[in-house]
């Protein structure tokens, strides 16, 4: 029996922890302290760390965890990521014995150039590529690159659990309503997710089906998003990557 939990860290990060009651794997442990406390409380041995990209709030725990547990650290090829033992790129696989887990690696550049995601056991660990009802800012990549990464995610099964690295869902819903306020599924999601947060519970994982129905950044092929982009860009018939670029630009402006 495997247990998956989003462990809060910093103000709004999640460290995803998957364990079998004896051994654990952690995704993007930017802060070692809450993870160590959880592992100690549940008498778990950390065997592996999976890193999606180089940002410090995802990698900051590597050195301490490596020293304490002698765990494997899987990550994209980037010298800014500390203590890596296994370098990965898109198309690679990760096979873990304790706990028994198998992941396929997707290249998902856009937020950063080195960003990868992990797919396995019905889950997608997507770091900062996809958020609940949102997506990561384009700090290093461009809109065409991110649109291609999102297309790779859209090809996964609808039942895939989407395990994002930040609790941004309610803010993202607020933005989504500004460009798709008549989306009934979005409004139902807002009610459900606000109820979860009122109880201090995570809105994640979501499902890919829910993201496809409500997340404007994953709906850049849909007619209503194309119409929004055409008006935003003042140009008819925008390409899908241009639709994504318009949505991203609108969100960046909305963020102020």
Q: With helix as H, strand as E and coil as C, how does 79-100 read? A: CCCCCCCEEECCCCEEEECCCC
Would you tell me the crossing angle of helices 32-41 and 62-69 to the nearest 10 degrees?
30
Q: CA 113, CA 76: separation in Å to the nearest integer? A: 10
Q: Active site residue: 19, 23, 58, 115, which one?
A: 58
237 in active site: no
Helix (H, G, I), strand (E, B) or coil at 236: coil
166 in active site: yes
Q: For the CA atoms of the chain, what is the radius of gyration?
A: 18
Q: CA 250, CA 79: separation in Å to the nearest integer? A: 33
Measured at the CA of 231, the angle between CA 178 and CA 180, to 5 degrees, comes to 25
23 in active site: no
Dihedral sign of CA atoms 72, 73, 77, 81 in order: negative
3-state helix, strand, coil in the chain (%, to 5): 40, 25, 35
Q: For strand 101-107 and strand 116-120, is the pairing parallel, antiparallel, or unpaired?
A: antiparallel
Q: Active site residue: 111, 114, 193, 241, which one?
A: 111
Measured at the CA of 249, the angle between CA 245 and CA 11, to 5 degrees, comes to 115
111 in active site: yes
53 in active site: yes
Q: Active site residue: 28, 31, 114, 128, which one?
A: 128
Q: In angstroms, what CA-CA distances link 23 with 4, 39, 65, 71? A: 12, 9, 14, 11
Q: Active site residue: 31, 54, 166, 241, which one?
A: 166
Q: Active site residue: 31, 57, 114, 241, which one?
A: 57
54 in active site: no
Active site (catalytic) residues: 53, 55, 57-58, 111, 128, 166
């Amino acid at each position: 029996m495997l247990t998956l939990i989003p462990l809060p860290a910093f103000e709004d990060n999640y460290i995803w922890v998957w364990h079998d009651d004896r051994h654990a794997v952690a995704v993007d442990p930017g802060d070692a302290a809450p993870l160590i406390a959880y592992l100690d409380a549940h008498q778990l041995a950390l065997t592996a760390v999976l890193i999606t990209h180089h940002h410090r709030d995802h990698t900051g725990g590597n050195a301490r965890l490596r020293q304490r547990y002698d765990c494997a650290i899987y990550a994209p090829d980037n010298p800014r990521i500390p203590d890596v033992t296994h370098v990965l790129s898109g198309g690679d696989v990760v096979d873990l014995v304790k706990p028994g887990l198998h992941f396929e690696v997707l290249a998902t550049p856009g937020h950063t150039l080195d960003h990868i995601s992990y797919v396995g056991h019905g889950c997608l660990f997507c770091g900062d590529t996809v958020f609940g009802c949102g997506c990561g800012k384009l700090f290093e990549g461009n809109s065409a690159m991110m649109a291609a990464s999102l297309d790779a995610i859209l090809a996964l099964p609808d039942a895939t659990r989407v395990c994002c690295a930040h609790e941004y869902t309610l803010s993202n819903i607020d933005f989504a309503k500004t460009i798709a306020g008549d989306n009934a599924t979005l409004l139902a999601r807002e009610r459900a997710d606000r109820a979860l947060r009122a109880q201090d519970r995570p809105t994640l994982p979501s499902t890919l089906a829910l993201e496809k129905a409500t997340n404007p950044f994953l709906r850049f092929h849909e007619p209503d998003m194309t119409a929004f982009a055409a008006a935003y860009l003042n140009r008819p018939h925008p390409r899908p990557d241009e639709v994504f670029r318009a949505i991203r630009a609108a969100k960046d402006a909305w963020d102020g």
